Amino acid sequence: REIAYFEETDSTNTQAKKLGDAGAPHGTLAVADKQCAGKGRRGRGWDSPSGSGIFMSILLRPDMEPSKAPMLTLVMAVSVAQAVCETEGVDTLIKWPNDIVVNGKKVCGILTEMSTEVDFINHVVIGVGINVNTGAFPEEIAQKATSLRLEMGHPVKRSPLIASVMHFFEVNYEQFQKVGNLSFLQETYNRMLVNRDRDVRILAPGNEYNAHAIGINEQGELLVRRGDGRTEAVYSGEVSVR
């Protein structure tokens, strides 16, 4: 696999996209020790000081319809959860659609960006940010965010964890390419789903309501039961098109 390592860069997602636009092969990985313009979802930033975390983005050239790309984010979420669980021995859960949670707090976020040509995928970049050795978080997010080091009580090595994430992702990705949906991963995902069997607030555009989360379906949509007993599928849509 081709690996582009940066001691410091703006954003590994931006770099992976550049590599993709320049023709880099499927599976190329961009990794940085530090990002000075790390990107989070919904236009937010992702604080990425040196040594604190894993900042990496994988470039994919999947042979599938653009509408299937959001499922790739869930494939990565399960892969990160499996890797953290295996290498660190901690219980790792997923907050739908793609935040990785340890002891109720977020340790990892995923940002997927896609480049399309009319109706096929040119490439997809899946960016993974894991809080590995962060010592403390700003007050505003300390309630919601944590690092592996804070949860384990000791520093954690980054490279074995990167290798493990890539291993699990390769295995899961191959299945996904074959099957074309998440049926093969649905049970594993739902077992890790922190919202499972809980009341959640659905924030759909122009439509906010309370519902009971059941689990994901084969498309990665969250199935919820509404007050009137109806079951509804909430679309993930966590992919931005650039």
Q: Which residues bind ligand BTN (CB under 6 A)?
A: 11-13, 35, 38-41, 44, 46, 55-57, 109-111, 127-129
> Measured at CB, which residue is nearest to ligand BTN?
109
User: Cβ 113 to ligand BTN, closest distance in Å?
Assistant: 9
Rounded distance, CA 50 to CA 54, Å?
10
Rank residues 39 and 105 by Cβ distance to ligand BTN and give the closer one.
Answer: 39
Distance between CA atoms of 39 and 93, rounded to whole angstroms?
Answer: 23
Q: Using alpha carbons, select from 110, 50, 59 the residue that is nearest to residue 80.
A: 110
Q: What is the nearest approach in angstroms of ligand BTN to the Cβ of residue 196?
A: 20
Of 145 and 185, nearer to ligand BTN (C-beta) is 145
C-beta of 145: minimal distance to ligand BTN in Å?
Answer: 10
Q: Which is nearer to ligand BTN, 20 or 38 (CB)?
A: 38
Q: Which residues of 68-106 are buried (b: 16+ CB within 10 A; e: fewer)?
A: bbbbbbbbbbbbbbbbbbebbeeebbbbbbbbbbbeebb
For the bound state, the minimum distance from the C-beta of residue 149 to ligand BTN, rounded and expressed in Å, comes to 17
